[in-house]
Structures are given as structure tokens and as C-alpha cells.
Structure 1
Amino acid sequence: MSELLEKVKTNLILEHSADDTLLEQFLTAATAYAESYQHLDEGFYSKNTMPATTEQAVIMLASHFYESRDGSTGGFFADNVQAGQQVWNTVNLLLRLDREWKV
């Protein structure tokens, strides 16, 4: 099992492996989003080390995908209608820290 998957499961407080395949799909999507947002080639993080801030963003985004897989805001803050948007805002802020800026 990948180290990143373990970190997502720890973040979600998941001790079972029933959803590992689903979580891997969410990790793939979150990593692809990070690469695109940071203007990196597809698959960049499969060959290069992911910075800590980007890793945290990917963990948060994959966790958000898992918690809202039924189409709701999901998770602990489901009663807060802006919780989903706040996740995206935080993820984007973290990804900007490692983004290659073109001048």
C-alpha cells in the first residue's frame, strides 16, 4: 500500500481496507488536479518528489472526494454549506505555494 494512501486513511480515520481501491482513484484524481493547477506535466509526481504542502493538498482533496462521494458536502462539517468551498480554497492555497510561476 502506498505511503500516500496510508496518510489519506489516517486523515479520514479509516482502519479498514474495503475502500482502498476507491481511495486510490481519488488520490489519482487529486494528484492530477495538483499537477494541472501547478502547470506540471501529467504524471510529474509519479517521477518526482511531491513537496509537503502539495502532499497535504492532495491528502485533503482525496479525503474531500471520499467524504462527499454521495454528492453532499460530506464529512464532519456537512451542516456547513460552505465547507466544500473552503476545502477547495485551502487546497488551492497550498498548491500555489509550490506552483511554478511564469514571469
Structure 2
Amino acid sequence: MDELLQKVKENLILEHDADDKLLERFITAAISYAESYQHIAAGYYQEHPMPPTTEQAVIMLSSHFYESRDGSTGGFFADNVQAGQQVWHTVNLLLRLDREWKV
């Protein structure tokens, strides 16, 4: 998780370690969401490599959780009332790319 934590911190432009435990919880939640959305077993990404598109979705979702932890939209698009909705839409699109479709 250390590498993913660093990528989330880079995305958030954080240079301190004060919120690392909080970020790790958000990353865990984002990975859990990805596994659920993609219809794969919980813990799958602990034992298998995460595709780049899924990794980007996890980074974006973790960042969104961090920036919106007080319940506001927060972050770069704070002046856009649909920013939170757009983050979820983008994350779901990225996760769909790596989803296992059963026919």
C-alpha cells in the first residue's frame, strides 16, 4: 500500500505524513469499492496486480474521500455544484474498463 499511498499524496499535493493513516483508510475503502463494483472477490487486489485504470480510479476516489471528508464537495472543483457527482461518474467509468463481464 506504500506505493499507492505515495501516488494518492502526489495527487493531493501533500508533502506531510500527518494524514497517512487517514489516507490509508480512504485507500482501503476505495479498493473495496473497486472490487465490489468490478464483481471480484474482496481482497483480490491484495494478491493480484491492479490494472492502471483501476489504480487511477482508486487514486481519484481516495483523493475525493480526503477532500470531501467534511461532507463538502472540496478540492479542485469546489465551485462546481456537480463536482462530487462527476468524480463518481469518472471513477465508475474507469472501473468499468477492468470489470469482468459475464455473458
Same fold (TM over 0.5): yes
Q: Are 2:54 and 1:59 equivalent residues in the alignment?
A: no
Cα deviation 1:10-36 (Å, max 9, x = unaligned): 000000000000000000000000000
AA aligned opposite 2:81 = V
With structure 1 as the length reference, what TM-score do the two structures score?
0.98
Aligned to 1:34: 34
Aligned length: 103
Aligned to 1:17: 17
Cα deviation 1:73-93 (Å, max 9, x = unaligned): 111211111000000000000
| Cα RMSD after superposing both structures | 0.7
Q: Which moved more, 1:36-45 or 1:74-83?
A: 74-83
AA aligned opposite 1:54 = T
Cα deviation 1:16-61 (Å, max 9, x = unaligned): 0000000000000000000000000000000000000000000000
In structure 2, what is the Cα distance between the partners aligned to 1:48 and 1:71?
33
With structure 2 as the length reference, what TM-score do the two structures score?
0.98
In structure 1, what is the Cα distance between the partners aligned to 2:74 and 2:64?
7
Query: Which consecutive residues of structure 1, in runs of 5 or more, have no partner in the other structure?
Result: none
Aligned to 1:72: 72
In structure 2, what is the Cα distance between the partners aligned to 1:76 and 1:63?
11
Q: Deviating runs (4+, > 3 A) in structure 1?
A: none
In structure 2, what is the Cα distance between the partners aligned to 1:43 and 1:12?
25
